[in-house]
Amino acid sequence: MAILLDLQKVSFQGFERAILEDLSLTVSTGDRIGVVGINGAGKSTLLRIVAGVLQPDGGVLRRPQTVQVGYLEQIPRLPDGTVREALGSDWRVDAALDRLGMLGSVDSQIKHLSGGQLKRVALAQLFASDYDVLIMDEPTNHLDLGAIQWLEQQIKNFKGAVVLVSHDRFLLDQVTTRMLEVDRGKTFVHAGGYSQLLEAQAEREEQAENAERIRKNLARHELAWLRRGVKARSTKPQARIDAAERLLNTRKEAAAREGSMEFAVEAPRLGTMVIKAHQTHFAYPNSAPLLKEVNLELGPGDRIGVVGPNGAGKSTFISVLAQRLEPTAGTVKHGPTVVTAFFDQEGGNFDLEKTVQELVAGPQGVPDSPANLAIMKSFWFTGALTKTKAKDLSGGEKRRLQLLLALNQRPNVLFLDEPTNDLDLETIRLIEEFLRMWTGTLVVVSHDRTFLSRTTDRLLEVHPDGSLRDIRGGIDAWIARSMGVGVVDSAAERSSSNEGGGVSKSKQLRETQKEVSRLERKRETLTTKIADSSDRAEQSRLGAELAQVLIDLAKAEETWLQLAD
């Protein structure tokens, strides 16, 4: 196992704080190192130093002269000209472009490519070149699930070493041999993938709490002993008493972010009919149809995931459902109680010249009102950040602001288009927790398999021919099918029905799963309310309601097991 890169006591100073302190890391052949940390922690800075494009303020980076390093930035930069001119005519280039859905764009100008197309072209160039080390910053952004699976396989087959920043937990668990966590300048290296990282984090936090408890106890005992003997032992210096008091009053290091992302869980009540699409078609002018004969009905509490290859029309599909686009044929109807919010992948259409607090308050609100300050704090916009113009926010901060503004509309139907792009893992996990408790209807386009698994209970696939298919078994079945394992016959599934009835078993299973998810959210909401209440009468009422929910949940789970058998 050859050493390819060696970092010793590397440090880098930002404007207000140290971004990296005394980082030592050895990268050898076969290493697959995943880098994680909250937005702004210094992950991209670390990659730039490892790639040799940024000089550290201290320490040393050693790299043998023969070692070639390839670096994929978050926003790739390629030379002007066509894709073919930029990448050349190598068979490996064509194979990668074909697998990434870009072979038909080899004559396109680089400057005319979208962000997602640019990322795919840059990935093709990276894996078609002879590098010893690959450095990749958020390589899965803008990729569809098929392309991500290709990327996983490329990383696994690569003979050198890989260092990557990613928020894709499934990818990290599949490919990494070590995880490097960046936290307020400090770095922690853990063996294994993302699952092992979480275990190590929990253990570290527990050890820190135990150490803090021991430190406080020692300080209390020292102070008590000093005070008891201060009169009898007049030679005891006051300085020792002062030192003990300072130790006792010293607070442990503050968290990188204070508190957790919190928002009102309850959505305005929905009627039985939420959204209904009937024989819906859509095509842009002078273009082939992106949607054909779409028939879909969404009810209250539905959790829909939308997948499909890039360019198939996923974003168009949910824009039509949200009535942001008018169908070219057919109808899309919303129920009378529907209040929608749309989280698009372009970063929102808010005024970049306005500050965070101005955007949250809106044209009629008071920017620094207690209510608005509380809302901003719940999304980690505090201090100077509240008065920062949107244009000066980081990519992750803009996405967080976009989500805040969407939820501030108090919707009961939420459309999310690639919501995990540019967000760190901590924020993604908290959004998942919010959505798990939220009572409204959710439609989400995402390439994040873990996110889909945790937030949706029904999966729809948009095909390039404009058709829409239900994927039985959800995201796991979709992955298996895309790999050629256990292919689902959607037509057979749609035509199957139970004895003596016309309702398909798959629909019954889907409806039962939705009911289980609804009751689980209700259980969590009631449990939280009981814990927060100090009124015994209210606790008793909520307890009775919780008991009935638990009975209903047990029945629904039993029904689900029978249908799934």
Residue 84 CA, distance from chain mean position:
33
3-state secondary structure of 41: coil
Distance, CA of 368 to CA of 360 (rounded, Å): 10
Distance, CA of 417 to CA of 447 (rounded, Å): 10
Looking at 174, 197, 220, the residue that finishes a domain is: 197
One-letter identity of residue 7: L
Q: Which one is predicted more confidently, 565 or 412?
A: 412
Distance, CA of 380 to CA of 387 (rounded, Å): 13
In a domain, 564, yes or no: yes
What is the average pLDDT across 121-135? Answer: 94
Specify the pLDDT at position 493: 42
Looking at 146, 162, 197, the residue that finishes a domain is: 197
The DSSP secondary-structure symbol of 315 reads H
What is the average pLDDT across 25-44? Answer: 89
Range of lowest pLDDT (48-57, 96-105, 422-431, 542-551): 422-431
228 confidence band (pLDDT: 50, 70, 90): low
| Neighbour tally for 263: CB within 10 Å | 17
In a domain, 240, yes or no: no
- Tens digits of residue pLDDT in 173-211: 889 999 998 887 888 888 887 777 777 777 766 766 666
**Contact indicator for 346, 476 with CB cutoff of 8 Å:** no
Distance, CA of 398 to CA of 392 (rounded, Å): 9
Q: Which two tokens stand for residue 33?
A: 């190192």
Nearest-5° angle of CA 189, CA 208, CA 240? 130
Question: Which of 129-133, 216-220, 262-266, 397-401 ranks highest by mean pLDDT?
Answer: 129-133
What is the average pLDDT across 265-283? Answer: 86
In a domain, 540, yes or no: yes
User: Among residues of the chain, what percentage have pLDDT more than 70?
Assistant: 83
Sheet holding 291-298, edge to edge: 291-298, 275-282, 329-334
Q: Which two tokens stand for residue 548?
A: 């009935």
Distance, CA of 286 to CA of 414 (rounded, Å): 31
Nearest Cα residue to 17 out of 185, 180, 181: 185
One-letter identity of residue 233: R
Structural domain that includes position 79: 3-197
Q: Which two tokens stand for residue 344?
A: 């698009």
3-state SS string for 79-132: CCCEHHHHHCCCHHHHHHHHHCCCHHHCCCEHHHCCHHHHHHHHHHHHHCCCCC
Specify the pLDDT at position 246: 60
In a domain, 306, yes or no: no
Q: Does pLDDT of 409 surpass 50?
A: yes
In a domain, 63, yes or no: yes
Specify the pLDDT at position 232: 45
Q: Which one is predicted more confidently, 552 or 225?
A: 552
Q: Which one is predicted more confidently, 262 or 460?
A: 460
In a domain, 520, yes or no: yes
- Tens digits of residue pLDDT in 503-546: 566 667 767 777 787 787 778 778 878 887 888 888 888 888 88
Specify the pLDDT at position 38: 81
pTM: 0.74
In a domain, 401, yes or no: no
Helices (H) and strands (E) in the chain, counts: 18, 18
In a domain, 153, yes or no: yes
Distance, CA of 170 to CA of 385 (rounded, Å): 32
Q: Does pLDDT of 251 surpass 90?
A: no
Residue showing tokens 């009535």:
323
Please give the tally of structural domains in the chain: 2
Buried b vs exposed e over 231-258: b needs ≥16 C-beta within 10 Å? eeeeeeeeeeeeebeeeeeeeeeeeeee
Nearest Cα residue to 264 out of 529, 538, 543, 450: 529
Mean pLDDT of the chain: 82
User: Among residues of the chain, what percentage have pLDDT more than 90?
Assistant: 34
What is each CA distance from 101 to 311, 351, 475, in whole angstroms?
9, 34, 21
Q: Which one is predicted more confidently, 384 or 488?
A: 384
Which CATH number is 192's domain given? 3.40.50.300
Q: Bridge partners of 527?
A: none
Q: Which one is predicted more confidently, 96 or 257?
A: 96
Specify the pLDDT at position 490: 42
Specify the pLDDT at position 473: 75
Looking at 145, 162, 197, the residue that finishes a domain is: 197
One-letter identity of residue 272: T
Specify the pLDDT at position 190: 84
Q: Bridge partners of 189?
A: 180
